[in-house]
């Protein structure tokens, strides 16, 4: 039997319930694509983080709280949502080592935002106020139905994967990419111009999407393809 890649998944943090958890779709999407998802411990201990970076075959930066503006050198505005210092701290140690090792990373929602912030980009702290738009980026449930379209850029790995110039995606995010990181390239834009997917051109597979394939993979073939591309890169 061929060995399946281990995918380390950043846990979601529920401060009220004092619990770390994951949405099933993250794990099921990875399993469907042939990987083994593992929820990582949330820790600031560098030795543990470095060992995790070395042992896992790929990393899923999940959704979650807003990214701390400190990471991109801005004051936290009152409109910024709750942040998770623990996630920020762990991901700030994990990501550089993972990039050094050139292991695959998929960032979803907060994950694309963290990638951009950690790689010298900036974020809208409160998207609806800072980039008013007729398009719904914070849809109501159910989350497995599309909310807005995105234009996919030609000559990007996402275009190569999906083979379409436009797809419809779900949308459930409070922040978004403001200044794109100089280390990332946009792969898709919402109609008003918001960056909705990125990749790191000089790495094997470092992708981020602003939408939520973990909610839509049961209905949407393109969401499955994203999980497959990620897990295949981890083999
Ligand atoms: Mn959106």
- Residue 22: CB partners within 8 Å, gap ≥ 6? 9, 11, 12, 37, 39, 62
pTM passes above 0.85: yes
Q: Based on the residue annotation, tell me whether 82 is a catalytic residue of this protein.
A: no
Beta-bridged to residue 185, according to DSSP, are 199
**CA-to-CA distance for 184 and 22, rounded, in angstroms?**
27
**CA-to-CA distance for 211 and 106, rounded, in angstroms?**
12
Q: Based on the residue annotation, tell me whether 214 is a catalytic residue of this protein.
A: yes
- Residue 117: CB partners within 8 Å, gap ≥ 6? 67, 71, 72, 123
Beta-bridged to residue 60, according to DSSP, are 9, 106
**Crossing angle of the two packed helices 221-234 and 24-32, in degrees rounded to 10:** 70
List, for residues 114-143, the tens digit of each pLDDT value: 999 999 999 999 999 999 999 999 999 999
Tell me the residue length of the chain. Answer: 235
Distance 6 CA to ligand 1 centre (A): 29
Q: Based on the residue annotation, tell me whether 212 is a catalytic residue of this protein.
A: yes
| Structural contact between residues 156 and 176, judged by C-beta atoms closer than 8 angstroms | no
- Rounded mean pLDDT of the chain? 97
**pLDDT at residue 3, rounded to an integer:** 96
Distance 218 CA to ligand 1 centre (A): 19
**pLDDT at position 1 over 90:** no
Classify residue 26 by burial, with Cβ atoms within 10 Å: 0-12, 13-18, 19+: buried
Q: What is the mean pLDDT of residues 18-31?
A: 97
- Residue 11: CB partners within 8 Å, gap ≥ 6? 20, 21, 22, 39, 40, 41, 42, 62
Distance 216 CA to ligand 1 centre (A): 14
**pLDDT at residue 232, rounded to an integer:** 98
Q: What is the mean pLDDT of residues 134-162?
A: 97
**pLDDT at residue 219, rounded to an integer:** 95
Q: Is residue 176 very low, low, confident or very high in pLDDT (cuts 50, 70, 90)?
A: very high
Which residues in 70-122 belong to E strands, given as ranges?
105-108
CA angle 84, 99, 166 (to 5 degrees): 80
Q: What is the mean pLDDT of residues 106-116?
A: 98
**CA-to-CA distance for 231 and 31, rounded, in angstroms?**
9
Q: Which of 9, 56, 109, 234 is flagged as catalytic?
A: 109
């Amino acid at each position: 039997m061929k060995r399946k890649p281990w995918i380390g998944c950043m846990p979601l943090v529920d401060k009220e319930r004092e619990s770390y958890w994951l949405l099933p779709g993250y794990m099921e999407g990875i399993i469907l694509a042939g990987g083994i998802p593992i929820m990582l411990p949330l820790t600031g201990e560098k030795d543990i983080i470095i060992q995790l970076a070395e042992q896992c075959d790929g990393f899923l930066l999940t959704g979650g709280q807003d990214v701390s503006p400190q990471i991109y050198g801005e004051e936290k505005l009152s409109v910024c949502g709750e942040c998770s210092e623990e996630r920020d701290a762990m991901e700030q140690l994990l990501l550089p080592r993972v990039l050094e090792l050139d292991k695959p990373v998929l960032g979803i929602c907060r994950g694309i935002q963290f990638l951009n912030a950690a790689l010298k980009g900036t974020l809208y702290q409160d998207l609806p106020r800072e980039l008013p738009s007729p398009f719904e980026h914070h849809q109501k449930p159910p989350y497995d139905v599309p909310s807005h379209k995105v234009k996919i850029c030609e000559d990007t790995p996402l275009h190569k994967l999906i083979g379409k110039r436009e797809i419809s995606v779900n949308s459930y995010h409070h922040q978004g990419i403001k200044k794109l990181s100089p280390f990332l390239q946009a792969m898709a834009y919402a109609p008003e111009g918001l960056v909705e997917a990125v990749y790191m051109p000089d790495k094997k597979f470092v992708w981020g999407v602003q939408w939520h394939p973990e909610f839509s993979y049961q209905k949407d073939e393109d969401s499955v393809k994203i999980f497959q591309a990620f897990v295949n890169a981890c083999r």
